[in-house]
Amino acid sequence: MIAVFPGELGKPRPAVILQRDELLGLFSTILCCPMTTHLIDAPTLRPIIVPSPENGLQEISQIMVEKLCPLRRDVIRQQIGRLTTGELKRLETALIHITGLGLASAPRNEGENGGKQLP
């Protein structure tokens, strides 16, 4: 889901909500990644999202995965759209790169640690 929340200096900013819909009412905060129209050359870490009727964006934007943050539910203003399956896949890849989650079961480079597995 893409929603609008107040950003730095009170400027409204789109954000991607990362929690499953079923969990949105469970906590007082919602896990989000803000978006920006200030593009940088890091599409693997900051997926680019092109405006579409489905996502409700007005400009080409990047998801700032490295700025993952919890927001109080009451500051989120409205839902403006949803990401496609392909966009969600790129976001998932970026989250794995930024957090390292999902890498625990991945094979390690043999050059690391003398080829030994870490506990």
What pLDDT sits at residue 72? 87
Q: For 41-54, how does the pLDDT look when each residue is reduced to its tens digit (9 = 90+)?
A: 999 999 999 999 99
* Predicted pLDDT of residue 74: 82
At 74-113, the pLDDT tens digits run 888 888 999 999 999 999 999 999 999 877 665 555 444 4
Domains annotated on the chain, with CATH: 2-103 (2.30.30.110)
Give the integer Cα–Cα distance in Å for 45 and 40.
10
Averaged over 15-43, what is the pLDDT? 92
DSSP 52: -
Report the 10 Å Cβ neighbour count for 85: 6
